[in-house]
Amino acid sequence: MQSNRRQILSFVAILMMVVSAFAFTPSARAEGSLDTSLEGFYNVYSFASVNGTAEYDLTLTNNGDADFETVSITASFQDTSWETANVTFSTSEDSNNQTFSLPLAAGGLAQVHVSVFVSSDAKIDFAEVPLTLDINADGAESSITAIVCVTNWIAYQSNFPSPLELNTYNKGDNYTYNLTVKNIAVTMNPDHTTSPVDITDMIQLQYSSLSGWSVTSTDESWHPFYGGQLDGMLADQVKTWEVTVNLTGNVKAGEDILNFQASSTNPDDPFGMPYYQPYGLTIIPVSAVEWYGVGSSGGGMRNADINEGSSIQTWSVGVSNFGNTADTFDLTWNLDNIPAGWTISATPTTSGSIDWQGSTNFDVSLTVPADALSGSSASFSMTATSSSSSIETSSQTFEVMVDQHYGVSMEVDTESKNGVPGSTVEFSFNLTNTGNGEDTFDIAIEGPTMWSPMSSTTSLMVGAVSSGQFLVSVMVPSTMPADSNSGDITVTVTSSDGVTAVNSTISVVSSQVFSINIAYVAGSDGIVTISGDTSLQIKLNITNNGNGIDTLSLKLVNAPDWATLGADTLTVGPIPVPLVITLSPDNAAVSGRDYTFQVIATSLDGTEWTSPDLTAEIEAQKIDNTDVQEEVLDEEDDSPGFGILASLLAFTFVVYGRRKD
């Protein structure tokens, strides 16, 4: 339709200058009223070639109640090369060039035929040349304009001037019409008569109107895209195309016009300016019945990531009118497959009125809760139904699937434990899957190999928001000195995504083992015989079989008062340390009696160690000599201080040597 509007722009501009009806009202009580109308070949247009004649009929009607004594008509052109002498006015009674006059009685009607000869001397800058007819009715002036179209041909629907029958189309319907092009070019003969002549104009008759309609023809001169094509015409030739119009698309319901643009170029024109025939002669009226249709869009699958909390999934939903007239569409929703706790936004129940080829859009949102499990899903659907035809529907389905996100936390019963050498220490770990789906966690242990850290399992499968347990064991080396630390043992748990991980550090300290042995020195059975008031010493060897230095508290039990220990405390390493008990019987000692007693050593942890029995036998005799005699039972140095020092040094070397191992 836009090309049609462009075609008629000049036509509208000209018609604005045309006055088709004029009313002249004299001052007397009896008044004349003049109406005028002009009809050419088509409206105010008439067509003629150079040397041809354009014809018009001017109708004058006195609608008043007074006669017009004189109604005069005068012709004029804007371009002086168009001579008014070539304009002829005629009635059945009279004829004249340039001007014409006639009386017009009240209620009377007169028709004046206007002929315009197109002289070869006339300048033709533009194919449409206006002719102004000035009309004076007893002093009242007006004008009317005719358009002379200078052309070698004319195109029209074949029934012209009779109107075509209005056919009503449904989709797929087709009807046949005829379109005609006529050669109207003439040449001037020496006797001033005219004869038809061949033309070389390149003429095209092309469909240039509404989409949704197709125009075809079986004529070989009809091009599927460019329409009718003529490379010139013979003198007085008339070319008619039979065309078939088919409704193929979605056109607006009701009446409309199919326009065929007729145009040509003259190969002899040095400027090559095309000529376009005025709109209206090559149109076909059509009418499309109403039909209905609907389309919808916007559905689809969404993936929800709830790693940082609840997720809102939004769809932009569209409803389109696929019919050819305005319609309203009912919207129905199926929300049965939305789980509890998932919330959907407002769901409209109508689209509102939508014009032909129009559409409406709105958003619908679904909120996925933060505690939704991986793989859980929701779906809902919308169906749009035409209010004018319930069989016209369109549906959209909307789906959401929850993505898995990963998370893990871990706790251990304690970060450090003690264990005696040779024992195995176990740590209990509680692993929590903080993700939203079942996950398999890899467990890796890093630590000193001599402590043999090991997990009870290398992987652990844990459900969403659930916990699992595993143990990590550490074996204390059997030769490990007391208070030795394993150093950091790192336990790392990694999610199946290979990225999410957590670790914990544990350690083990070797506990001190307390083990003391008290034994007779070599060659001794722990029995001594004392005669008289002689003083004797008994020695014991104390050996520390534990893994650390021990400080012993010493005491005698069941011993007589005259028995004394060489030391109350004794620090013992791995080298045996001698302990001296001095026996100095006094006069109260019973002659001939045996005194049996023991030494008790108490370790730092409170463990008591008892020596074998020590026996002092008192000879049955009077003790005269009060000198103290010392019985030497072995050749070892009796000095407690030296023995303790040697023991400590030896133990230090042993501990140092073991740590190096």
Question: Are 281 and 316 part of one and the same domain?
Answer: no
In a domain? residue 223:
yes
Within a domain: residue 659?
Answer: no
- Asked if 330 and 384 touch (Cβ cutoff 8 Å), the reply is yes
Is the CB of residue 49 less than 8 Å from the CB of residue 150?
Answer: yes
- Residues 218 and 341 placed together within one structural domain of the fold: no
657 lies in a domain? no
Do 256 and 391 share a domain, yes or no? no
368 and 499, same domain (yes or no): no
Do residue 469 and residue 545 come from a single domain? no
Asked whether residue 502 is assigned to any structural domain, the reply reads yes
Is residue 358 in some structural domain?
yes
Which pLDDT score, from 0 to 100, does residue 344 have?
Answer: 97
Q: What SS3 state is found at 12?
A: helix
Of the candidates 113, 119, 50, 112, which has an alpha carbon nearest to the alpha carbon of residue 79?
Answer: 119
Whether 169 and 281 map to the same domain: the answer is yes
CB-CB neighbours of 314 under 10 Å:
13
- The reported pLDDT for the residue numbered 641 is 42
Nearest Cα to Cα of residue 402 among 363, 367, 364 = 367
What does the alpha-carbon distance between residue 505 and residue 359 come to, in Å, rounded to a whole number?
64
Looking at the 3D structure of the chain, how many domains does it have? 5
Q: Would 660 be classed as within a structural domain? A: no
Pairing relationship of beta strands 275-276 and 254-265 according to DSSP bridges: antiparallel
3-state SS assignment for residue 357? coil
Specify whether 136 is located in the same domain as 157.
no
Q: What is the model's pLDDT at position 129?
A: 96
Among residues 247, 270, 288, which one ends one of the domains? 288
Distance CA 444, CA 425 (A): 18
Angle subtended at Cα 577 by Cα 572 and Cα 578, rounded to the nearest 5 degrees:
140
Mean pLDDT by 10 residues, the chain (661 residues): 34 36 43 90 96 97 92 95 96 94 94 96 91 94 95 95 93 95 96 95 89 93 94 96 94 94 87 88 95 96 94 97 96 97 96 96 97 96 97 98 96 96 97 96 96 96 96 96 96 96 97 95 91 85 94 95 93 93 81 88 96 89 47 41 42 38 40
pTM to 2 decimals? Answer: 0.64
Pick the last residue of a domain from 510, 544, 564.
510
Does residue 108 share a domain with residue 13? yes
Q: Which domain holds residue 109?
A: 2-150
In terms of domains, do 569 and 628 share one?
Answer: yes
Read off the tokens for 61. Answer: 């009607």
What's the rounded Cα separation, in Å, for the pair 96 and 213? 50
N-to-C CA span, the chain: 102
- Is 470 within a domain? yes
Three-class SS of residue 448?
coil
For residues 520 and 619, state if they share a domain: yes
Residue 639: the pLDDT is: 41
Which among 382, 387, 433, 432 is positioned nearest to 406, based on CA atoms? Answer: 433
Nearest-angstrom CA–CA distance, 607 and 80: 145
CATH number of the domain that residue 504 is part of: 2.60.40.2310
Same domain? 161 vs 140: no
From the list 103, 182, 179, the residue with the least C-alpha distance to 137 is 103
Of the residues 288, 307, 322, which one is the last residue of a structural domain?
A: 288
Question: Residue 246's domain is classified under what CATH number?
Answer: 2.60.40.10
Cross-strand partners of 230 = 203
**Cα gap 616→585, rounded to integer Å:** 10
Beta strands in 408-447 (DSSP E): 408-412, 416-419, 424-433, 439-446
The answer to whether residue 658 sits within a structural domain is no
Same domain, 157 and 237: yes
Give me the pLDDT at residue 438, please.
Answer: 96
Q: Give the dihedral of Cα atoms 632, 634, 640, 644; nearest 10 deg.
A: 180
